[in-house]
Structure 1
């Protein structure tokens, strides 16, 4: 066990109790396409009352408070403002000259599924056995001992979505995690977060399955038009599957045989599973918007979305998010027309803009990635206040994951996922000094005892230690 797990062993005992069963035969679950035999067993680490004082507070919803205070009680935010009084017995943190923000949420990560060290034996993020693998769940590949999680924690990441890779048209289910040390992935699963579905368009699925690489059951795409035909075929099958279960729920006919692939797709059609779509080019995003209207599902977010600026008005009208890099471009043809002002231009059009990592390194400094995009927009005449731009890192990703009622802002009743920064977090010199998750201090830059270390990092004993 890592040091932090050992120090909070009493709290960890709480996470061993499961919450609910699979319910595979329940008609209501069947009709929605949602069966959950792997429920969250997350329980917050123990915490006390804490008052953070004297900071510049970004509340995550567009507000800035100079000399602000944030009160944490029972794992929740209970008060935010300039005039907040600490209850008896509360710990007081003097944050004068520092900044306080909601915890960063990365809605596109592969930590745990492609953990460190990055060796072939650890590569479990892509199920390349076919172009449609909606039946797989990435949480069954996540290794909680990935040192990438603690590195991300040191960068202020409090929650993150782990996605399958982009080899497939339908890559499988994603999972939303709280970034806490744990023994199983279920102990990290964000309580109440909807399931997600990873889809991919463009070069990746046609590259993996086309170009003479053979055929797979049900056919494989060799072109972009093959990709779209593959989506449509799968959605047609899922729609029929969903109808059978809905009829059964109404007492008509025999219970259908469960199909794990179609079960996930039916859940997306019912709106219970949120669709996250890897897509670079504006024209392809436009096709996917039309496709979603044809079959009646909603795209929660386009990921990478290098050309989102070209159709930002359409994205705003559709009410979807674009999860983007600050300045990655040109590493393949569909990424060629990227611009550094992409994120602020999407925001300026009234659409939901998100800064994501898709990187075990980038996730450690997402605040700096957002700062790059913010400054590029400012140079182009798009002057977005810092307190508004912070929504790219907390509120907007929370919206895309269906958890904005629980986290993403510093508001009374929300989870106390809070970061204390040494300076303006849009400065390259800023460091996350303290990171709270559900009110528990999970990382303290000044206290090595609260800097969790994974088992893998402890190394192997030498011969002299084996006696």
Structure 2
């Protein structure tokens, strides 16, 4: 027994000394251990595709000295025989916050202010640009967290400070828990960015996604200007950006559409971002592939919803149910499409979930070799460290794991994880397999002892000779047995404790301590070997993956739609041209254009549609909409945000797009909100359902920007903690316009002077905000202005006259009837509501005759929605012009078609049924001004994006798919899988005054 104890302590000591990289001697006379550690007879994966059978791995000084089948073993070597074992390179996770505490925001901050923190003097003006920070400066090695990662097979991680838009540099760390080891491989390896505001700032700007994108653009423009020596002062944030340009640039997009947005910025500035994804890339795989970017992909899959309550399950969106089903196939889709990506543990609830999730992805078709590459050679290549990590080639760090077999097999045991030549034990590699049936004797008492489970995690069951089960606890560690039993006839507190060292698996023995303190010898003789119960259960097949649609939400299409040649026969045609309304007339659509309008048309290649008794019009155009916008309709942080653009944040997944199509809407202008006098630039979109955001943008669209007047911009309705910024009065609003246009005028003149060469000197700074306002002065950009009160309407026209431009459109304009003559004189159009009034103080004088009065004064008048619900009923809004103003039906229809096209300067392409114009067409079941009219087909450029018959089929398909997914989720719960509570996701519908993000 003493011999056994001595052997145990000696083994523990040798293990500890072997794991140290250096001997514990005085630093000034420290000597490195030059001995070799040799691993023989192993299956060695030098790389995921280079495999050596019965190979030898030679390690010295923390690095791979040699690897192969014929490696000469030096004399001063410690030889470890790994017969039957496999060696793989340790995993690499290049996106973590390991050892770095995420900054905690100040909970006392209000909405924020515009003041620059004087403590940041010398740094960039916006506090979310934190490029001067270095992760290694705040890094503190976390031994406990390192152990979690080591147990999962990781040897190296990249870590950074996850805060802000420009987050500074990341550090590369070896997970070497050995005392005095070299843990930092590279102090600066990556440079990090994200669409996240800093938690530490009190600045209000940016308050939206579009603001973050504008800030990034301005930052890169300032960097270029700064590097050319144009600045008179030093900026430490820009200095850091310039110094770190050659590092790997990682952008945390965290969503498929954000990946496209980040890629857009990269393309504009010639950058090469590595994009941190979210797991939903498969939903827009074609566009993801076309970014040509490398990705970092998490494998944190959603849990099934608990759908046992049918009422609660109705709260779940089909898209969320579908994502649970589809997410595990994301890695396969990315791999099949040739996208290069590394894997990360980011977003996992616990590191232990990493292997089960990865094995799940493999079950869903992800190739095992590709999986190993995504954890080794690819992250190493992304970092430019292929010669040091990610493989077991000679010269690389000795970072490897030793396993019982193929690494991505569920039953494979990970024994050891060596990092920089230092061993971390996960499971005892020398552990003896003691499974079997034994006769256990403790003094005069005899028992039956059954040991089963797995070799590395055995389980124990003890019974009496009469087969009565005995309460017991059992564990094995480093071949030492620990067993506590409570004899059936003993009192509650009486236990017998057994210990023993495993020397012979046929005969186990050791010391037993009784409850009274007496010591006895125990023996256990094996009576029969362990026999594994044959697994008769077939390997569980993954759920059938629901096919991805475009977009991947309810009512998406199974494939991208294409243009058709269509011939509508015998319809009532509302041309919006001099021909007026034609009866019993045909319309031919070909090559995405209106090919012909007339009687008795024919085309051999056309699909003929009988439209007798039905009406055909051009598509409805909504001049003022806020649907399909991501993460904020207002950039409310400044009183002027001309630098931001809605074009950056179009959300192609919004179900309101499909609903608009069902209401005959083909084009909308997506406007910035009215939180500030000078808002952001707009996006004119065609509702091409299923297309990517960039494909929705109207080609070569005229430039527009949103201005605003009234209560919103002076913050009268922002809540008790506000207002926080200038202006706070209506006269202050006028001063904002005057000041900014004067600045823009001077800015424009400075650039014209510089470009003419008439004045030598440093280049002016590119200012996206003033550049946009200069476009207005130069008549290159048009204003759509949110307005109500006549005095303010007149005020803005006076400001425009002062700077020699005109306002293009007053939107809302509910007191327009009071100043219609002045508006006509100025040359401005009106986009108003049909009959909104008295919903706030500044609209108390609104009347439903407003639109007709302005129309009769000769103004171009349109009706808009400003509302997700109203936008799909604009045909009925147009009818109100007939009711309240006795406007002809033909002219009333133009209020939602041709007139908004004129206001948007696109009437040469859309707004009427004229040969050569875009085939943006709606087939109505009745007079489009009737409350009974339904849009039966909505067509954009010859593509049928809404069909009422197919819509009925889609509704049935949605119900069927929900039932299928509910069945799968119930099955998941019944199998004991984790589930999450059903929750209703309230989608925020944006309006002009919405300040929050989604």
Per the normalisation by structure 2, the TM-score is 0.39
Q: Kindly tell me: are residues 204 and 420 of structure 1, through their superposed partners in 2, closer, same or farther at Cα, counting changes over 3 Å? A: same
Give the Cα separation in 1 of the matches to 2:853 and 2:763.
Answer: 50
Aligned with residue 752 of structure 2, among 241, 246, 270 = 246
Give the Cα separation in 1 of the matches to 2:608 and 2:913.
Answer: 18
Aligned with residue 145 of structure 1, among 638, 647, 653 = 653
Give the Cα separation in 2 of the matches to 1:72 and 1:251.
Answer: 53
Matched ranges for 1:320-335 at <5 A:
320-335=828-843
Give the Cα separation in 1 of the matches to 2:757 and 2:955.
Answer: 53
Q: Kindly tell me: are residues 304 and 241 of structure 1, through their superposed partners in 2, closer, same or farther at Cα, counting changes over 3 Å? A: same
| Residue pair 2:642, 2:679 contacting (<8 A) in 1 also | yes
User: 1:371: Cα distance to partner?
Assistant: 0.5
Q: Hey, what does 1:15 align to over in structure 2?
A: none
User: 1:57: Cα distance to partner?
Assistant: 0.9
| Residue pair 1:238, 1:262 contacting (<8 A) in 2 also | yes
Aligned with residue 433 of structure 1, among 929, 936, 939 = 936
| Residue pair 1:201, 1:284 contacting (<8 A) in 2 also | yes
Q: Hey, what does 1:294 align to over in structure 2?
A: 802
User: 1:176: Cα distance to partner?
Assistant: 0.3
Aligned with residue 105 of structure 1, among 621, 625, 633 = 621
| Residue pair 2:832, 2:863 contacting (<8 A) in 1 also | yes
**Residue 869 of structure 2 corresponds to residue 361 of structure 1:** yes
**Residue 669 of structure 2 corresponds to residue 161 of structure 1:** yes
Give the Cα separation in 1 of the matches to 2:651 and 2:971.
Answer: 27
User: 1:45: Cα distance to partner?
Assistant: 5.0
User: 1:288: Cα distance to partner?
Assistant: 1.2
Bigger shift: residues 289-298 or 147-156: 289-298
Aligned with residue 228 of structure 1, among 712, 734, 739 = 734
Aligned with residue 609 of structure 2, among 70, 74, 93 = 93
Structure 2, gaps ≥5 residues long: 1-263, 271-290, 292-559, 976-998
Aligned with residue 74 of structure 1, among 591, 610, 616 = 591
Give the Cα separation in 1 of the matches to 2:820 and 2:577.
Answer: 21
User: 1:162: Cα distance to partner?
Assistant: 0.4
**Residue 202 of structure 2 corresponds to residue 202 of structure 1:** no
Q: Hey, what does 2:906 align to over in structure 1?
A: 403
| More strand per residue | 2
User: 1:292: Cα distance to partner?
Assistant: 0.8
**Residue 722 of structure 2 corresponds to residue 213 of structure 1:** yes
Q: Hey, what does 2:922 align to over in structure 1?
A: 419
Give the Cα separation in 2 of the matches to 1:341 and 1:355.
Answer: 12
Q: Tell me the SS of whatever aligns to 1:344.
A: helix
Q: Kindly tell me: are residues 442 and 451 of structure 1, through their superposed partners in 2, closer, same or farther at Cα, counting changes over 3 Å? A: farther
How many corresponding residue pairs? Answer: 411
Q: Tell me the SS of whatever aligns to 2:882.
A: helix
Q: Hey, what does 2:775 align to over in structure 1?
A: 267
**Residue 956 of structure 2 corresponds to residue 447 of structure 1:** no
Give the Cα separation in 2 of the matches to 1:416 and 1:335.
Answer: 38
Q: Tell me the SS of whatever aligns to 1:160.
A: strand
User: 1:212: Cα distance to partner?
Assistant: 7.1
Cα deviation code 1:175-215 (max 9, x no counterpart):
00011124532121000111210000111111257987254
User: 1:439: Cα distance to partner?
Assistant: 0.9
Q: Kindly tell me: are residues 465 and 357 of structure 1, through their superposed partners in 2, closer, same or farther at Cα, counting changes over 3 Å? A: farther
Cα deviation code 1:82-132 (max 9, x no counterpart):
x2522222111111111111000001000022xxxxxxxx65111111111
Q: Hey, what does 1:312 align to over in structure 2?
A: 820
User: 1:327: Cα distance to partner?
Assistant: 0.7
Give the Cα separation in 1 of the matches to 2:776 and 2:971.
Answer: 53
Give the Cα separation in 2 of the matches to 1:317 and 1:341.
Answer: 21
Q: Tell me the SS of whatever aligns to 1:420.
A: strand
User: 1:53: Cα distance to partner?
Assistant: 1.6
Give the Cα separation in 2 of the matches to 1:84 and 1:77.
Answer: 16
Q: Hey, what does 2:581 align to over in structure 1?
A: 64
Q: Tell me the SS of whatever aligns to 2:949.
A: coil
| Residue pair 2:806, 2:826 contacting (<8 A) in 1 also | no
| Residue pair 1:108, 1:358 contacting (<8 A) in 2 also | yes
Matched ranges for 1:158-197 at <5 A:
158-182=666-690, 184-197=692-705
Give the Cα separation in 2 of the matches to 1:104 and 1:363.
Answer: 9
User: 1:73: Cα distance to partner?
Assistant: 1.0
| Residue pair 1:327, 1:373 contacting (<8 A) in 2 also | no
Q: Tell me the SS of whatever aligns to 1:447.
A: helix
Alignment RMSD: 2.6
**Residue 858 of structure 2 corresponds to residue 350 of structure 1:** yes
Cα deviation code 1:140-196 (max 9, x no counterpart):
333211111111110000010101110111111110001112453212100011121
User: 1:23: Cα distance to partner?
Assistant: 9.3
Moved >6 Å (runs of 4+): 209-212, 449-453, 458-461
| Residue pair 2:925, 2:934 contacting (<8 A) in 1 also | yes
Aligned with residue 849 of structure 2, among 336, 341, 346 = 341
Q: Tell me the SS of whatever aligns to 2:900.
A: helix
Q: Hey, what does 1:375 align to over in structure 2?
A: 883
| Residue pair 2:806, 2:827 contacting (<8 A) in 1 also | no
Give the Cα separation in 1 of the matches to 2:788 and 2:884.
Answer: 20
Cα deviation code 1:389-433 (max 9, x no counterpart):
211111111111121111111111110000010000111110111
| Residue pair 2:652, 2:691 contacting (<8 A) in 1 also | yes
Q: Hey, what does 1:11 align to over in structure 2?
A: none
Give the Cα separation in 1 of the matches to 2:746 and 2:825.
Answer: 29
User: 1:298: Cα distance to partner?
Assistant: 2.2
Give the Cα separation in 2 of the matches to 1:328 and 1:107.
Answer: 16
| Residue pair 1:405, 1:414 contacting (<8 A) in 2 also | yes
| Residue pair 2:881, 2:892 contacting (<8 A) in 1 also | no
Q: Kindly tell me: are residues 263 and 95 of structure 1, through their superposed partners in 2, closer, same or farther at Cα, counting changes over 3 Å? A: same
Q: Tell me the SS of whatever aligns to 2:658.
A: helix
User: 1:357: Cα distance to partner?
Assistant: 0.1
User: 1:22: Cα distance to partner?
Assistant: 5.1
Q: Hey, what does 2:642 align to over in structure 1?
A: 134
User: 1:352: Cα distance to partner?
Assistant: 0.6
User: 1:435: Cα distance to partner?
Assistant: 0.6
Give the Cα separation in 2 of the matches to 1:221 and 1:296.
Answer: 24
User: 1:449: Cα distance to partner?
Assistant: 8.0
Give the Cα separation in 2 of the matches to 1:69 and 1:317.
Answer: 41
Q: Hey, what does 2:33 align to over in structure 1?
A: none
Structure 1, gaps ≥5 residues long: 1-17, 25-40, 114-121, 379-383
Q: Tell me the SS of whatever aligns to 1:107.
A: strand
Bigger shift: residues 178-187 or 69-78: 178-187
Per the normalisation by structure 1, the TM-score is 0.82
Cα deviation code 1:277-313 (max 9, x no counterpart):
0001222111111111111222111010001111222
User: 1:46: Cα distance to partner?
Assistant: 2.3
Q: Kindly tell me: are residues 269 and 440 of structure 1, through their superposed partners in 2, closer, same or farther at Cα, counting changes over 3 Å? A: same
| Residue pair 1:443, 1:450 contacting (<8 A) in 2 also | no
Q: Tell me the SS of whatever aligns to 1:275.
A: strand
Give the Cα separation in 1 of the matches to 2:837 and 2:577.
Answer: 29
Larger Rg: 2
